[in-house]
Amino acid sequence: MIIERLHVPEALVDDRGEWPFTVPAVAALIGAGLTLDAPVTFLVGENGSGKSTVVEAVAEAWGADVRGGRSDSPWSSELEPSALGSVLQLDRTATGGRMVGRRATGYFLRSETALDMFARYEKRDRGFHDVSHGESFLHAFDARLGGRGLYLLDEPEAALSFTSLLQLMVTLADVVEAGGQVLCATHSPVLAALPGAAVLQFGERGVERTTWGELDLVQHWRAFLDEPGRYLRHL
């Protein structure tokens, strides 16, 4: 483990009525915050539930390029800190405490800027040339996710088929084996089934620690695949 808690000191929040602290899951970080107790943690919830907001803020606090990329990227952005990223505190383990500055190894995949990021890589990595969208994601995972570091993934399933998702699960297991830690926002019931991972559901009640089978996401997919018409007749 590298990070064991995410929290926002109450003294640093000027107004809980301002976004993003109006989002229940983000508000739950104020005070005691959120404990991370597994090498891989999935953040699952509806659009707007705060998953990506939290992952991006962790990337800022860790020192990753918030546009996406390595923590020691030469293109590290100098954008203004976000409202959450500027106050979020990361409680580190002894291992994480040694990962400061240039030693803060890891990677941030931000799905909406991934193609721009891959275009930067093309000049020196032929693996991004002449491949499909999904294949470029898999190549990035294989090339950039590995070793001891903090890996932050924002909806990495966006370009991946079912089979490719299984390949990504193998890569995440390899990261854990190497001593790394993963925080991943996802809508994928496949990824969230990774053995040994912690699953946190973001919603109106804030953050709830749950199991894969109890996720709203999993229950909806099960019901839909069993009888699509049950949902489609309401469209």
Distance between CA atoms of residues 135 and 127, nearest Å: 9
pLDDT score of 94: 95
The DSSP bridge partners found for residue 90 are 6
pLDDT score of 121: 55
Give residue 100's pLDDT band: very low, low, confident or very high (50, 70, 90): confident
The answer to whether the beta carbons of residues 226 and 232 sit under 8 Å apart is no
Distance between CA atoms of residues 133 and 53, nearest Å: 24
Residue with more model confidence, 90 or 115 = 90
3-class SS letters over the chain: CCEEEEEECHHHCCCCCCCCCCCHHHHCCECCCEECCCCEEEEEECCCCCHHHHHHHHHHHHCCCCCCEECCCCCCCCCCCCCCCCCCEEEECHHHHCCCHHHCCEEEEEHHHHHHHHHHHCCCCHHHCCCCHHHHHHHHHHHHCCCCCEEEEECHHHHCCHHHHHHHHHHHHHHHHCCCEEEEEECCCCHHHCCCCEEEEEECCEEEEECHHHCHHHHHHHHHHHCCHHHHCCC
Residue 123 has pLDDT above 60, yes or no: no
Distance between CA atoms of residues 232 and 95, nearest Å: 49
Mean pLDDT of 114-130: 57
Mean pLDDT of 76-105: 86
In the numeric block, which tokens belong to residue 92? 């580190």
pLDDT score of 5: 98
Mean pLDDT of 174-190: 96
In the chain, what are the domain boundaries? 37-87+99-230
Mean pLDDT of 31-35: 97
- Which of 21-30, 79-88, 196-205, 212-221 shows the lowest mean pLDDT across its residues? 79-88
pTM for this prediction: 0.90
Give residue 120's pLDDT band: very low, low, confident or very high (50, 70, 90): low
Residue with more model confidence, 93 or 106 = 93
Give residue 201's pLDDT band: very low, low, confident or very high (50, 70, 90): very high
Mean pLDDT of 130-140: 66
Residue with more model confidence, 223 or 66 = 223
Angle among Cα 122, 134, 211 to the nearest 5 degrees reads: 125
Polymer length of the chain? 235
pLDDT score of 158: 84
pLDDT score of 114: 56
- Which of 15-29, 139-153, 169-183 shows the lowest mean pLDDT across its residues? 139-153
Quickly name the fold that domain 37-87+99-230 has. Answer: Rossmann fold (3.40.50)
Residue 47 has pLDDT above 60, yes or no: yes
Give residue 44's pLDDT band: very low, low, confident or very high (50, 70, 90): very high
Mean pLDDT of 113-128: 57
